[in-house]
Structure 1
Amino acid sequence: MNTNDLKLFEAVASYNSFTKAAEAMFTVQSNVTARVKNLEEEFGATLFVRNARKVLLTPAGEVLMHYSKQIANLLDEAKSNIKSTQVLTGLLKIGCIETTMALKVPQILTDFGAAYPHIDLEFKSAMRSVLIQDVLDYRVDAAFVSGPISVSGLQQQLIREEQLVILGPSNTASLSAVLNQHTFPKIIVFDQGCIFRARLESWLSGKGIVQYKPIIVNSIDGIINFVEAGLGISILPEEILTSYYAGRNIKTFSLNKELGTMTTVLIYRNNVVQSRILEAFINLYKEQTGVAAGCRE
């Protein structure tokens, strides 16, 4: 077995096809088939089940996929860590929720770019659950998510606490008036899996409201526009509103500490040797927050 065998194996799993994997890896199908067969003989297990439509991983294949990703990641980190130069270079992939993307990414680029100008940062915005899985699956190196979390294999670094507020149109007299105005209140929210939506739904539940009409949008601007137009209420970090939407026709309402306080943490894998690039990124936030160490879960 060699690392190229594992790359071909991962390609087949990714494309669910030997033919497409061969095309993507610039080789012929017979070579891909032979290398996968070699792996199956070496591990003494069938790695794929084949049917007329596509190729799927077996349970044994799923196990090998887990280790294959770790092996590839370790090799990349080894190359980075043993370079003789003291100048850090390379790519760091960071995930974040939508509000972190809007609020913090510009400053992250400024601060980290000034300290490490030869490192490229690549950001991905997604829901919390997706980002957690992305870190576990090596698709991103670290991610900013709402915490705390308790996931085996992940470590978290406290970043900050921020205050959430409910927002409504500027002519909103009170939240009670909004709730009493309609049989089924309308809420402007991201899709399922969003921490802000979960908090707003918890608040409604505490008010005895279990039926409401969600209007799904996919951006902060969309939420602001819909709320301003009087289509419903929503919830966002107060800093987002004061920093970027202070002049809009919206009104904010405070929440109790339990629902209104959101903790942001930086999560990353704790079962692998950290690359020097990721270590530098984490240390930047340790210095800024004054936190001596992350919380291991």
Structure 2
Amino acid sequence: MDLRVLRYFLAVAQEKNITHAAKQLLISQPALSKQLADLEQELGTPLFVRGHRQITLTESGEYLRARAMELVDLADKTVANIATEQVIGGELSIGAGESVGMQRIMNITSDIMLDYPDVKIRLVSGNAEEIEAQLTKGILDFGVIMGERPLEQYNHLQLPEYDRWGIVMRKDDPLSRLEQIQPEDLKNRPLLVSEQAIQDHRFQSWWGNTGSAIPIVGTYTLIFNAKLLVKNNRIYLLTFEHLIEDSTSEALVFRPLKPEVTEPITVIWKKNTVQSKVAELFINRLKTNLKSLA
């Protein structure tokens, strides 16, 4: 298996038609069909279900597509960074959750892009586990994670900002009259909670015995769609402060938890890895930025 064949495979998976993919790749249809057949033989499993008008991926094909996209993206990024070795250029990839701390990261990134127009930015959203997995695979240069995590395998810098948990609700909700929200206030009130917070049992100690009386009606990974649900229904959203300050939140309000619950914000990157010039520049500028606060 080589990258060229993986690119062929991805083109067919995208087009769902070998003839269309062959035209896009500028090769003959028989040659492309043979490459796919050889790939299936090499892997020992069918990758496609060949229909009359289009083809679809088998379960093995779907798995290969996800892995192939990662490998091709990594190869393209590596080539781009090597090609710009003598200058600051290439791609800077940062994965992060939604957090107030991202403003500092985006300020530094914006300055780099202004100073070095050949730099391209790739932003990936995800929770801490997803970000760490992509760092390990070399898909991301940096991750920005919220909360206490094991950091032994990473280089890391902690930001001075922190995220404070609270409840987002409609402005006309009776709870909006409170300055802070205690566990008892949420009894019998439908609540949306971050998927990662549920997995980590983050609020088990905060709501204690009251937790059994708080109905968790759903989870979310990114906040935008969750805000829309809160806006349209009498549902409460457990999330970080400063994430509803946009045009979709005109009817919403944030109230912090009592007792207060906060999370540290940390920038992480792989140890023992040769960084591209643009990644080294990002690290140096972030360190300088943090030192200026000391």
Considering the TM-score relative to the shorter chain, is it more than 0.5? yes
What is aligned with 1:178?
A: 185
**Matched residues in 1 for 2:50 and 2:257: separation?**
57
Deviations 1:87-128 (A, max 9, x none): x12332323212358644642443433553431223233444
CA contact (8 A) 1:167 1:236 kept: yes
CA deviations 1:198-226 (Å, max 9, x no partner) are 63466335544264143667536964994
* Paired residues of 1:74 and 1:272 also in contact (CA < 8 A): no
Q: Pairwise mapping of residues 56-95 of structure 1 onto structure 2 (< 5 A)? A: 56=58, 58=60, 62=64, 69-70=70-71, 73-74=74-75, 76-81=77-82, 83=84, 85-86=86-87, 88-95=88-95
The alpha carbon displacement at 1:271 in A equals: 7.9
CA pair 9-198 structure 1, distance change in 2 beyond 3 A: same
Shift of 1:164: 1.8
Q: Unmatched 5+ residue regions in structure 1?
A: 291-297
- Measure how far apart 1:162 and its partner are: 1.2
Q: What's the CA shift string for 1:4-57, capped at 9, x where partnerless?
A: 23422444566676456435534443222223445567xx54364443463447
Give the Cα–Cα distance (whole angstroms) in 2 for the partners of residues 240 and 65 of structure 1.
30
Q: After TM superposition, list the pairs within 5 Å mapping 1:139-154 onto structure 2.
A: 140-149=140-149
- One-letter identity of the residue aligned with 1:22: A
Structure 1 residue 129: deviation in Å?
A: 4.1
In structure 1, C-alpha distance between the alignment counterparts of 2:14 and 2:184, rounded to whole Å:
52
> Does the 8 Å CA contact 1:69/1:138 hold for their aligned counterparts?
no
Note closer, same or farther for the CA distance 1:2–1:139 as it changes in structure 2 (3 Å cut). closer
1:253 aligns with 2:252: no
CA distance in 2, matches of 1:28, 1:147: 52
Q: Which residue of 2 aligns with 1:204?
A: 207
* 1:159 and 2:162 correspond: no
Identical counterparts, % of pairs: 17
Cα RMSD after superposing both structures: 4.9
- 2:162 is paired with a residue whose SS is strand
Partner residue, 1:282: 283
Whether contact under 8 Å (1:95, 1:125) holds in the other structure is yes
Gaps of 5+ in 2: 169-174
* Structure 1 counterpart SS, 2:178: coil
Equivalent residue pairs, number: 275
Q: TM-score, normalised by structure 1?
A: 0.63
Q: 1:112 maps to what in 2?
A: 112
Partners of 2:239 and 2:24 lie apart in 1 by 42
Note the C-alpha offset of 1:171. Answer: 1.4
1:220–1:50 distance in 2 versus 1, CA, 3 Å: closer
Question: Do the aligned partners of residues 94 and 20 (structure 1) sit closer, same or farther apart at CA in structure 2, a change above 3 Å counting?
Answer: farther
Partner in structure 1 of residue 172 of structure 2: none
Q: Which shifted more, 157-166 or 216-225?
A: 216-225
Q: Partners of 2:213 and 2:9 in 1: how far apart?
A: 48
Give the Å deviation of 1:178: 1.2
SS of the equivalent of 2:177 reads coil
Matched-pair contact (CA < 8 Å) for 1:200–1:234: no
SS of 2:35's partner is helix
The answer to whether the 8 A contact 1:47-1:58 is kept is yes
Task: Give CA deviations for 1:172-201 in whole Å, capped at 9, x if unaligned.
Answer: 27625514xx4x2232445x3467996346
For 2:4, the equivalent position in structure 1 comes to 4
Q: 2:223 maps to what in 1?
A: 219
* Alignment check: 8 A CA contact 2:15 2:21 kept: yes
Looking at structure 2, the residues matched to 51 and 150 of structure 1 have their Cα atoms a distance apart, in angstroms, of: 43
> Structure 2 CA distance, aligned partners of 1:241 and 1:32?
49
